[in-house]
Structure 1
Amino acid sequence: MAQSVLHPAASRGHANHGWLDSYHTFSFGGYHNPSRVHFGALRVLNDDTVAGGMGFGRHPHDNMEIISIPLSGALEHQDSLGSQAIIRQNDVQVMSAGTGVAHSEKNHSPREAVKFLQIWVFPNQRGVAPRYAQQSFPPAERHNRLLQVVGPSAAEGSVWIHQDAWFHLGNLDQGFTTDYQLKKPGDGVYAFVLEGDVTINGQALHRRDGLGLWEMDKLDIKADSQAELLLMEVPMQF
């Protein structure tokens, strides 16, 4: 039988550090909710705003797949692999922490805030060699379409991670309908509404609402307004 869990935007954890204003869908930092630690292999979904000129100093990670999706503005990235990059709106960045990597992220602008999603996914193998990649996905490519931006293989044309997981972004016109077919039995999909209003499998969702669905084969999606949607298919057992 189909299962679902609804996380309204207002129910998320919230931490405002002045330079960083962060909303946590799942337990993170000082926010701990035992019923919201992860959704399958999806461990962290943070909705972050970083003030101009500010950022995260160098800090370590290991054995985690880390995805950053800027929503507005730009981030400067540096890491112990020697990577130096600027990621902007419409880019998707991945960092496989593997055996260990240290990185820093800073707002590229001295004045304007940067808004981005920080997403962590448990890997399907530990101790891999750390790696960094980013790719741009122009908005026209996801107009009234669910465009794959993350997958388990470079051959699929998106950035890839060490997990059988697929992320799709869509910019949908009001009234547009589509469906999403799950790629593997036993997977679940976590839908996160970036902007606007959508209905998924009969559940009305609004800006920054999250909906997890599993034990089903398909999602039926309708845009109730101009909307931007992120779908994250992940294994529920890993």
Structure 2
Amino acid sequence: MIEIRKAQDRGIGRTNWLDSRHSFSFANYYDPRQIGFSDLLVINDDRVQPAMGFDTHPHRDMEIFSYVLEGELEHRDSMGVGSVNKAGDIQMMSAGTGILHSEFNHSGSEMLRFLQIWIVPSQTGVTPRYHQKHFPENEKRGKFRLVISPNETEGSLPVYQDIRVYAGLFDGDEQQKLEILRNRYAYIQIAKGSISVNGTAMNEGDGARVRDETDLLFTGGNGAEVLVFDLRPNELPSIG
């Protein structure tokens, strides 16, 4: 079963410098039907004005990754990391025992758009860590590239949870089948463009909970950039 969550149904968060869409309950947006899925707690689609961003703030016992779609994301944290992430880059941060960080639009003239995703970890109280990697277009063109996994399989970034994240780019006749094991769930997020999944049309910003499906066939992409999360078969995140 593929349960679509349309882009226009997401929560909205706006300030004078931020335009955000929340797939799940976050900050001032609360929907009791949308408080995460499996170990996914947050998927925010953030658009940040030039030279603006999130001031230094704390995180603890959370796996946080950012997927840059447009522009440049500047990151600084209490571990001494300072980095700039561009389109195609992924940063993965395990907050563990506690970390302070800030995130800004590195550009003074261009917009920044990125997905920020929170995953509930399988282990708490770990030593904080940070990873960053660029995944070039040719590794995702017309196929899915494993970008996050618990064991850093195929050069993916590590995460403290039984979750695997795939990224793919699809246009025209490009198609790909992704196998989902019978005892697993999945979540699909259309970051850009549009595509059909098992014959169901999905557009930019749409998400989908997937249960009891063993194959996902992606066809008819139009500038599509897609994330697929291979998840434990739990309905809601377990926090604390």
Query: Does the aligned pair in 2 maintain the 1:187–1:235 contact within 8 Å?
Result: yes
> Could you say what secondary structure the match of 1:47 adopts?
strand
What 5-or-longer segments of structure 1 have no aligned partner? none
3-state secondary structure, aligned to 2:222:
coil
Aligned to 2:8, what secondary structure does the other structure show?
Answer: helix
Per-residue CA shift, 1:149-194, capped at 9, x if unaligned?
Answer: 1111124311111011111111112132221112x55321111112
Query: What CA distance in whole angstroms lies between the structure 1 residues aligned with 2:175 and 2:87?
Result: 25
Per the normalisation by structure 1, the TM-score is 0.94
Structure 2 equivalent of residue 168 of structure 1: 166
Residues 77-126 of structure 1: CA deviation (Å, up to 9, x unaligned): 11111111111111000000111111001110112111000000111111
Provide the alpha-carbon RMSD of the alignment. 1.3
Q: What SS class does the counterpart of residue 140 from structure 1 fall into?
A: helix
Q: May I ask how many residue pairs the two structures share in their alignment? A: 235
Structure 1 equivalent of residue 62 of structure 2:
64
State the match for 2:175 in structure 1: 177
- 4+ residue segments displaced more than 2 Å: 184-187, 223-226
SS in 2 for 1:82: coil
Cα distance in 2 between the residues matched to 1:89 and 1:166:
20
Give the structure 1 partner of residue 198 of structure 2. 201
Q: Which residue of 2 aligns with 1:113?
A: 111
- C-alpha change, 1:73 and 1:224, in structure 2 (3 Å) is closer
> Higher mean Cα deviation, 163-172 or 151-160?
151-160
CA deviations 1:30-50 (Å, max 9, x no partner) are 000000000110110000011
Structure 1 counterpart of 2:120: 122
Distance between the aligned counterparts of 1:170 and 1:149, measured in 2? 10
Q: Which structure 2 residues correspond to residues 4-23 of structure 1 after superposition, within 5 A? A: 4-23=2-21
Rounded to whole Å, the distance in 2 between the matches of 1:28 and 1:79 is: 22
Matched residue SS, 2:138: helix
Distance in 1 separating the partners of 2:166 and 2:13:
27
State how far apart, in whole Å, the 2-side matches of 1:225 and 1:111 are. 28
Trace 1:20-39 onto structure 2 (pairs within 5 A). Answer: 20-39=18-37
Secondary structure at 1:197 match in 2: strand
Range with greater deviation from structure 2 (167-176 or 70-79) = 167-176
**Other-structure match for 1:211:** 208
Q: Distance in 1 between matches of 2:98 and 2:2?
A: 34
1:236 and 2:233 correspond: yes
SS of the residue aligned with 1:32? coil
Matched residues in 2 for 1:46 and 1:80: separation? 23
Aligned AA (1:50) = V
Code of the residue aligned with 2:126 in structure 1: it is V
CA offsets per residue over residues 122-142 of structure 1, 9 Å max, x none? 111111111000000011111
**Aligned: 1:222 with 2:219:** yes
User: In the aligned structure 1, how far is the partner of 2:115 from the partner of 2:123?
Assistant: 24
Assess, with a 3 A threshold, how the Cα gap between structure 1 residues 125 and 185 changes in structure 2: closer, same or farther. Answer: farther
Identity of matched residues, %: 38
Is 2:75 aligned against 1:80? no
Q: Which residue of 1 aligns with 2:188?
A: 191
Q: CA 1:177/1:155 → structure 2, altered by over 3 Å: closer, same or farther?
A: closer
Question: TM-score, normalising length from structure 2?
Answer: 0.94
